[in-house]
């Protein structure tokens, strides 16, 4: 019985410690992502992610990016042009590619996908690298 309690206590401590470590990492990534967003994205998409109606689409609660980090990866890497509809509003503009490395793309995507009511996760440079490889096929 003591061994079972000891195992349960150890398992519980490991889970708590790993969740705390995850929170700290996510906070750091979000902070870094926000810095990158402020520098590279906020002039068009605004600090609150609302965009500018008719000119620059919103990222906040956006049905265009909802649950699909690949849309964000692609927009950063390749840019966007032409007609698109976001949250029922038509846009027809140009977003140039943004020069960022995999770590920066992962961080800014994490920030965008976890801000302003968006419900995402933490994205890794490895995921960005994998996405880049898929573009070459």
Three-state DSSP class for residue 83: strand
Residues 55, 115: Cα–Cα separation, whole Å: 21
- Per the structure, the complete domain to which residue 109 belongs is given by 26-135
Cβ proximity of 86 and 100 under 8 Å: no
Q: Is there a domain that residue 1 lies in?
A: no
Q: Is there a domain that residue 30 lies in?
A: yes
H or E stretch at 88: none
Residues 68, 83: Cα–Cα separation, whole Å: 19
Tell me what pLDDT residue 69 has. Answer: 87
Q: Counting Cβ atoms within 10 Å, is residue 59 exposed (0-12), middle (13-18) or buried (19+)?
A: buried
Whether the model clears a pTM of 0.85, i.e. scores above it, the answer is: no
pLDDT digits (tens, 9 = 90+) for 87-126: 999 999 999 999 999 999 999 999 999 999 998 899 999 9
Q: Is there a domain that residue 20 lies in?
A: no
pLDDT digits (tens, 9 = 90+) for 1-46: 666 655 555 555 545 444 444 444 899 999 999 999 999 999 999 9
Residue 27 is classified by DSSP as: H
Tell me what pLDDT residue 1 has. Answer: 63
Q: Is there a domain that residue 67 lies in?
A: yes
Predicted confidence band of residue 135 (pLDDT cuts 50, 70, 90): confident
Tell me what pLDDT residue 23 has. Answer: 46
- The candidate with the shortest Cα–Cα distance to 86, out of 126, 50, 40, is 50
Read off the CATH number of the domain in which 130 is found: 1.10.760.10
Q: Is there a domain that residue 14 lies in?
A: no
pLDDT digits (tens, 9 = 90+) for 41-88: 999 999 999 999 889 999 999 999 986 889 999 999 999 999 999 999
Cβ proximity of 48 and 34 under 8 Å: no
Q: Is there a domain that residue 104 lies in?
A: yes
C-alpha dihedral (21, 23, 27, 29), degrees to nearest 10: 70
And the tokens for 49? Answer: 């992610």
Number of domains in the chain: 1
Q: Is there a domain that residue 63 lies in?
A: yes
């Amino acid at each position: 019985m003591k061994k079972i309690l000891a195992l349960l206590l150890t398992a519980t401590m490991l889970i708590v410690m790993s969740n705390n470590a995850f929170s700290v990492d996510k906070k750091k990534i979000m902070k870094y992502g926000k810095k990158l967003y402020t520098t590279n994205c906020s002039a068009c998409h605004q600090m609150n992610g609302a965009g500018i109606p008719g000119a620059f689409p919103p990222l906040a609660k956006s049905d265009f990016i909802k649950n699909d980090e690949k849309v964000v990866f692609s927009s950063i890497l390749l840019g966007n042009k032409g007609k698109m509809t976001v949250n029922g509003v038509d846009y027809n503009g140009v977003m140039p590619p943004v020069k960022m490395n995999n770590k920066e793309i992962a961080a800014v995507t994490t920030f965008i996908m976890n801000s302003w009511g968006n419900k995402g996760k933490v994205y890794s440079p490895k995921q960005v690298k994998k996405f880049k490889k898929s573009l070459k096929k």
